[in-house]
A = this chain, B = another copy of it.
């Protein structure tokens, strides 16, 4: 990014972002040099350009030994972003992150538990919970020490629910917002947590000046949980994130992205292209997407040999056995379908799990049909990014359980994520739709997807605490 200038109006508060993963992490190269690596995920790409332009500080967990060495002072990274790393003992961070954040709260808010077996709140878990509490305390301490008076603290996600309570206890007087990027568990599902933990999480969130969600539905789930547990809720707001259109378009004209785009279309050999771009993640519902494709080929034989379902996936959370097992199942079901339906000339299912950002973006440019069918999803940014960069009047199949459905639902092919037959029928409808209809739908999707920008989202957070 060039041509950015840092502006500071006197009236403008300093923005302090706190999130577990920061915009950058550092490794030492073979000859001792320090190498920054940009963090992945929608939050970093959405926030970084905005924060570079204003007086800001990003507080994040030190993820590496080099990050740890930098902890305790403010460092400038990645084009001028100011970052402060919080040094949390590696074993504690790991227990808190793997067992509480990803292994429990993520599954809870996405309604993903296999309740027959998981979760198990045993001694090991309770130890991890106290690590989680400590981690939140360390963040609160870092914020207290480094946030200038009058700044606004924007705390991101379920990793840091308890920060504001710790801040209040210390009487910091900072304005604070909590934003949930995930769905929020419904009350009867929230009861899976032990009551003590339920109360601590909700009271923790209630200690923020305001709590934000991507959709009214997740906000209502949160309020219903507060009601169930007898916790007085804080003020809340709904502010869906939007994609960073300019940076997507910049990346899309990158020569390598253009080459990948051509290669993807070439390898399809004129066949229609169904595309999925996702983290390898149980909530994304990759298996049922494949089952729907199987049923499509079964019930609509005209598509045999004529369609390719291409998956562009990136592995994640590979320390959790649920994730590695899921990855294997996806690959094995894809292979099964290729054996069942494919022949020398046609490979019906392609899975690319090499985590190549520009290739994924190229695939979004090339789809005839984009499949976004999560079982439950806070927002799903891919559902908005796809229409913005697609160049073929592609159609979108969108789960009713994705947050983005509230904004795009009218124009996407809505599917209920467990309904494999309906998903197969949506694939058929999207593959056979009339060209004029496709064109007008694609145009409308572009409008809807561009309606909200990362800046809107950031400003909504500030405005929620009267800091605009």
Contact = CB atoms under 8 A, between A and B. Distances in A.
Contacts of A189: 111, 186, 188-189
A187 B282 CA distance: 22
A288 B192 CA distance: 13
Interface stretch (A14-22, A119-127, A308-316, A353-361): A119-127
A401 interface: yes
Interface string A205-231: 000000000000000010000000000
Given A115-B111, A186-B187, A188-B111, A295 B421 contact: no
A191 interface: yes
Contact of A117 (B113, B123, B287, B295): B287
A120 B291 contact: yes
B120 A420 contact: yes
A270 interface: no
A195 B416 contact: yes
A239 to B, nearest CB: 22
Contacts of A2: none
Interface residues of A, number: 43
Interface string A251-264: 00000000000000
A116 B112 contact: yes
A447 interface: no
A113 B189 CA distance: 12
Interface string A411-448: 00000101111100000000000000000000000000
A317 to B, nearest CB: 13
Nearest to A329: B117
Contacts of A282: 115-116
Contacts of A125: 421
Of A112, A122, A187, A282, which is in contact with the most chain B CB atoms at under 10 Å from its CB?
A122
A115 B418 CA distance: 8
A298 B111 CA distance: 31
Nearest to A287: B117
Given A121-B419, A126-B421, A401 B112 contact: no
Nearest to A120: B420
Given A194-B418, A195-B416, 19 more contacts: A111-B115, A111-B188, A115-B282, A115-B418, A116-B322, A116-B326, A117-B287, A120-B291, A121-B418, A122-B291, A122-B420, A123-B298, A126-B421, A186-B186, A186-B187, A189-B189, A191-B401, A194-B416, A194-B422
Give the 5 A-B CB pairs with smallest separation, nearest first.
Answer: A186-B188, A114-B114, A116-B282, A122-B420, A121-B419
